[in-house]
């Protein structure tokens, strides 16, 4: 059920026309101090099979992180969520890994936490979920600590409405703490017999609190206004919202009215998409429609849709498209050079990653291949960094997580990684 995430893109963003921020579990930076490559020396675990001694998770007091960037311990430093942890083929999925950040320093791989389903998932009828994957992160109970929405696989006999597969893990001064609770969706807020999944965070009613929209069926969404209780229930009145599709993908305030809007895709894969506008009562009004594509993203450039014929960039609602010749199947956004404009990271399975400055300028060259895990300003230098996870068929059960710092140059990213580590540290052999 990923994607993001996918569980990527679950975030709240600012208004188009200023510097609209968007992405899935990503954030855009601000002004540009000296280059990160000059002020931060690369750090690497020389033996990726060795497990660095774990460090305590830094304690926080609560913070408001940049939109779309998780900060589970509320210390003001972004944290990293890793779903695909390296493990032996045929073994059980170990769970979700969290690498905690240090303010004005960056990620600290030794400050880590493994969210195993055995310890953190709420069981159903005594059965622990086999699937346990991150979907979205935001401060659902408005306490200053980011919370994690995860997908599970509760037992279902195929009759009637399936159970809700989503659970909430709450942040705290010491990070994610306590067992997850099941997200409560009342019957009046559901439509059809599809699984209620694909959650996206956003402030869809403009009250300053994080809400959730969730997949329903038949051209409808489930809207759950925040804040939420520690028991997993919305404190507002959940309802069914009209939509032009079933799969919510990414949120941002595209019309600058103070309420987030949500881009909804007709289905997974290559599909048409359209904006559902938010407002005082939440999402429900139709917005601009876009052609079939594999992914889409918002930014201060407008809306970008990755289609089979190239990247289509729409400067505004209903504007004509500009085509940028790049190939890929997934989009992420961030301000890589710190100029206040949204850049695009285009990736795909086995293809070279491409960068598009300001959403319209293809950057020569590529940082290589890999799966984009996150785009966020982890080191606090005002420029977003790109985190890639790389695997090799020649070394199954091993991987490399690489943090490439943003750069105030035409390349947008520094050539040398700031940090390299392996997720095998979460699952020692």
pLDDT of residue 54: 84
Cα-based distances in Å from 404 to 278, 386, 407: 35, 5, 9
Listed in sequence order, the residues at least 6 apart from 173 whose beta carbon sits closer than 8 Å to its beta carbon are 59, 60, 61, 62, 73, 74, 145
Strand, coil or helix: what is 120?
Answer: helix
Listed in sequence order, the residues at least 6 apart from 164 whose beta carbon sits closer than 8 Å to its beta carbon are 154, 182, 183, 184, 185, 196
Q: Which two tokens stand for residue 381?
A: 């230098």
pLDDT of residue 427: 78
Give yes or no for a contact between 9 and 306, defined as CB atoms under 8 angstroms apart.
Answer: no
Task: Please state the separation of Cα 310 from the chain's center in Å.
Answer: 23
Kindly report the backbone phi and psi dihedral angles of residue 415, in degrees, each rounded to the nearest multiple of 5, phi listed first.
-70, -35
Give yes or no for a contact between 227 and 276, defined as CB atoms under 8 angstroms apart.
Answer: no
Rounded distance between C-alpha atoms, residue 235 and residue 199, angstroms: 17
pLDDT of residue 212: 98
Rounded distance between C-alpha atoms, residue 423 and residue 85, angstroms: 5
Cα-based distances in Å from 167 to 124, 199, 305: 11, 11, 30
Model pTM? 0.88
Kindly report the backbone phi and psi dihedral angles of residue 363, in degrees, each rounded to the nearest multiple of 5, phi listed first.
-95, 130
Cα first-last separation, the chain: 27
pLDDT of residue 68: 75
Neighbours of 215 (CB within 10 A): 22
Pick out the chain residues at pLDDT < 70.
1-52, 89-91, 428-429
Rounded distance between C-alpha atoms, residue 9 and residue 138, angstroms: 11
């Amino acid at each position: 059920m990923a994607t993001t995430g996918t569980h990527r893109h679950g975030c709240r963003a600012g208004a188009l026309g200023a510097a609209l921020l968007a992405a899935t579990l990503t954030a855009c930076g601000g002004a540009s101090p000296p280059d990160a490559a000059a002020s931060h020396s690369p750090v690497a675990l020389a033996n990726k099979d060795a497990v660095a001694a774990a460090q305590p998770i830094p304690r926080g007091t609560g913070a408001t992180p940049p939109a779309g960037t998780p900060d589970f311990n509320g210390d003001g430093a972004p944290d990293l969520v890793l779903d695909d942890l390296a493990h032996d083929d045929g073994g059980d999925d170990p769970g979700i890994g969290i690498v905690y950040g240090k303010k004005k320093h960056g990620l600290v791989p030794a400050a880590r936490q493994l969210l195993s389903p055995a310890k953190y998932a709420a069981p159903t009828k005594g059965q622990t979920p086999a699937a346990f994957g991150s979907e979205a992160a935001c401060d659902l109970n408005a306490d200053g600590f980011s919370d994690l929405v995860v997908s599970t696989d509760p037992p279902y006999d195929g009759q009637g409405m399936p159970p809700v597969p989503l659970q909430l893990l709450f942040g705290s001064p010491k990070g994610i703490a306590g067992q997850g609770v099941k997200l409560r969706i009342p019957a009046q807020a559901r439509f059809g017999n599809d699984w209620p999944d694909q959650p996206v965070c956003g402030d869809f009613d403009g009250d300053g609190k994080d809400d959730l929209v969730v997949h329903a069926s038949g051209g409808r969404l489930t809207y759950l206004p925040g804040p939420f209780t520690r028991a997993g229930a919305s404190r507002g009145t959940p309802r069914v919202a009209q939509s032009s599709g079933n799969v919510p993908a990414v949120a941002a305030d595209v019309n600058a009215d103070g309420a987030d809007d949500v881009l909804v895709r007709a289905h997974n894969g290559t599909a048409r998409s359209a904006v559902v506008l938010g407002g005082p009562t939440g999402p429900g009004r139709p917005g601009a429609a876009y052609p079939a594509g594999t992914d889409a993203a918002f930014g201060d450039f407008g809306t970008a849709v990755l289609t089979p014929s190239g990247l289509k960039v729409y400067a505004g609602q209903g504007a004509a498209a500009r085509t940028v010749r790049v190939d890929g199947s997934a989009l992420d956004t961030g301000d890589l050079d710190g100029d206040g404009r949204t850049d695009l990271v285009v990736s795909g399975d086995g293809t070279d990653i491409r960068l598009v400055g300001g959403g319209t300028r293809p950057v020569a060259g590529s940082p290589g291949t890999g799966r984009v895990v996150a785009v966020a300003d982890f080191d606090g230098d005002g420029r977003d960094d790109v985190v890639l996870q790389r695997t090799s068929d020649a070394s199954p059960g091993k991987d490399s997580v690489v943090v490439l710092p943003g750069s105030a140059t035409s390349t947008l990213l520094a050539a040398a990684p700031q940090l390299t580590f392996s997720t095998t540290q979460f699952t020692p052999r």
